[in-house]
Amino acid sequence: MPAESNNQVIARVAALLRTVGATDVGGATTSELARATDLARPTVHRLLNALAAEGMVDRDLSSGRWSLGPELYLLGAGAALRYDITGTAGDIVERLARETGESAFLSARRGDETVCLLGREGSFPLRSHVLHEGVRFPLGVASAGLAILGHLPDRDIDDYFARAELESAWGPAHSESAVRERIGRTRLDGYATNPALLVEGSWGLGAAVFDSRGLPAWALSVTGVQTRFTDERRIAMGRLLLDSAQQLSVRLRDSR
């Protein structure tokens, strides 16, 4: 098989595993995964069965839904020794949820996406339900991805827009010009604001967390209903996010 075909298969398998991992606890059907990955259903069916034989995915025989398998848990446990920072960040995320009353999250950059690693619910009874552990968004979409994108060097931002096309999947509010405008605001404020661009009435704020090179590798965020994100509260929560992100950045730098 030519090298290009091998690379294509690997890319499809990786996309499929990421999509399975981003689904709810109940899993997803073959058809749902085919639509989400933009692959033909027979291709998805074949890949899933091959992955199941290796323990990478599991299928619920009663519902026909696919979830991540036990082998990935073992692989993930090994990778966590190097990449997982949830233990280091757990108390900070807990404090954000407690002090704001909103849902608080930790997300990590993975290439051109963010993936939510950790979430904690606040005391306010209404939830926005935009973020949950395992969900992925492109950079520039949702407050965590906007915070990370906004703090990248200008050259990296230009390169990202040269290969990313957000508007077709996420609507006119995510055109390059609109996202660049929000990047400018993020740099002025220090934190990113998502004013109900994904789900009506659901707002989010995000602050970048930096690695030892000074690059944004993670983000802390809070999400909640629009009525809770008044100008005064946004400023207060933004300051708390920035303080928390700085604390986590220093903690991570000192631990590595």
191/229 Cα distance (integer angstroms): 14
Rounded to 10 deg, the angle between the 3-22 and 41-53 helix axes is 80
User: pTM of the predicted model, to two decimals?
Assistant: 0.71
CB count within 10 Å of CB 78 equals 9
Q: Domain 84-255: what homologous superfamily?
A: GAF domain (3.30.450.40)
Q: What's the confidence (pLDDT) of residue 81?
A: 47
| Inter-residue contact 55 to 69 (CB < 8 Å) | yes
- The reported pLDDT for the residue numbered 141 is 93
- Give the pLDDT mean for 90-115: 93
What confidence category does residue 212 fall into, taking pLDDT thresholds of 50, 70 and 90? confident
Alpha-carbon distance of 233 to 28, in angstroms, equals 38
Assess whether pLDDT exceeds 70 at residue 241. yes
Mean pLDDT of the chain: 89
Mean pLDDT along residues 100-117? 92
In sequence order, what are the beta bridge partners of 120?
A: 104
pLDDT value of residue 200: 86
Instruction: For residues 107 and 14, give the distance between their C-alpha atoms in angstroms, rounded to a whole number.
Output: 19
Q: Which of 144, 119, 136, 137 is nearest to 206 (CA)?
A: 144
Using a 10 angstrom Cβ sphere, with 0-12 exposed, 13-18 middle and 19 or more buried, the burial of residue 214 is exposed
CB atoms within 10 A of CB 27: 19
Which uninterrupted H or E stretch holds 236?
Answer: helix 231-255
Q: Inform me whether the pLDDT recorded for 1 exceeds 50.
A: no
> What is the amino acid identity at position 206?
G
Per-residue pLDDT tens digits for 45-85? 999 999 999 999 999 988 999 999 888 877 776 665 455 68
Q: Domain spanning 3-75: which CATH class is it, in words?
A: mainly alpha
List every span in the chain annotated with CATH 1.10.10.10: 3-75
Phi first, then psi: what are they for 195, rounded to 5°?
-85, 70
Q: Where in the chain is the domain with CATH 3.30.450.40?
A: 84-255
